[in-house]
Each structure stands twice: as C-alpha cells, then as structure tokens.
C-alpha cells in the first residue's frame, strides 16, 4: 500500500563501502519502496566519497533519496535499521568504519526532532559533503529546518573528496 496524499517527505542518506555497495544501495531502495507507508520519490546519482574518520578503508558510494511516508519518524528509523540488518549490516560499534550499507534519516518534513533515539535534521549532515552534494542535486537550494540553505552549507563544508560516480539505476 502506498502512503495517502497527506504523506510527509523524508530524506534518507544511503551509503556503503564493502562488498558491492551499488547493489546494497539498490537493494535498500527496493526494500524501502516495498515498505508499507513508504513511497520512493526521487534518488540522486551515486557519489564516490573518501572515508571520514577511519581513512584506511575503501571509498564509499553515497546517494540521497526523497521518500513520501505516512510513518512517524521513529517508525521510519526502525524500518531503516531493519533494512540495514536484512542487507547484512552488522553494527560493530565502530563509528565511521566500513559497512555494507548505511541508511540515515537526514530530514523529516520541516520538523526538528531531538529524542533519545533520533535527531533530525541529522546532527552531522552540515559537515558531510557526501550528503549535501546529492541533496543539492535532487532538491536544489532547499532551506533546512533552522533556516540553513543547502548551497550555503556546501560553501562552508570543509574539503572532502566527493566525485560523481554516475546515475543510479534501480
């Protein structure tokens, strides 16, 4: 079942750098679109990204997707974590480490959320060129909750190697 017209837009960051990250991202998008209460609207191109934090690992592939959903933010997060597990992600506790797939809830409508389980907008997205570039690709210079514009955040974002890696074909 697809969400009703009253659905909220949510933006998801997708990435991975182990095994076949392109296949993992495609699989995540198929799983997301199959979830009840979720409909995939648009997906950015892939971006090849240098790792952050732990640099002795393969480059990542990243993308951003916009969804329409009637799920509340915490339920959407729960579904993202479930999809990661189904696709083989094992959370080892090593932040910024290698992973098969990573799904981050970046934005949920125009709201800000700060709970024990969830912070939206994603608390580090303004530091991540690999999030801002694909977000800008699909949304242009959108204004984020709190008033920041994606283009301005891109200008201020420290240099990180991010290169287009081609269109995403699902």
Q: Which residues are catalytic?
A: 89, 99, 102, 104
Please answer whether residues 61 and 16 qualify as being in contact, where contact means their C-beta atoms are separated by less than 8 angstroms: yes
CB atoms within 10 A of CB 43: 25
Per 3-state DSSP, what percentage of the chain is helix, strand, and coil (rounded to 5)? 30, 30, 45
Give alpha helix (H) positions in the chain. Answer: 21-34, 73-86, 129-139, 150-156
Give me the helices (H) in 35-125, please: 73-86
């Amino acid at each position: 079942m697809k969400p009703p017209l009253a659905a909220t837009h949510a933006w998801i960051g997708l990435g991975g750098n182990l095994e076949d990250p392109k296949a993992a991202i495609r699989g995540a998008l198929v799983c997301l679109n199959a979830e009840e209460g979720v409909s995939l609207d648009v997906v950015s191109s892939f971006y090849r990204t240098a790792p952050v934090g732990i640099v002795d690992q393969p480059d990542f592939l990243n993308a951003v997707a916009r969804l329409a959903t009637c799920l509340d933010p915490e339920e959407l997060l729960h579904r993202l974590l479930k999809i990661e597990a189904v696709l083989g992600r094992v959370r080892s506790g090593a932040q910024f480490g290698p992973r098969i797939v990573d799904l981050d809830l970046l934005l949920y409508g125009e709201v800000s959320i700060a709970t024990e389980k969830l912070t939206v907008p994603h608390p580090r997205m303004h530091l991540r060129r690999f999030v801002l570039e694909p977000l800008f690709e699909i949304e242009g210079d959108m204004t984020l909750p709190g008033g920041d514009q994606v283009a301005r955040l891109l200008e201020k974002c420290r240099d990180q190697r991010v290169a287009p890696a081609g269109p995403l074909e699902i």
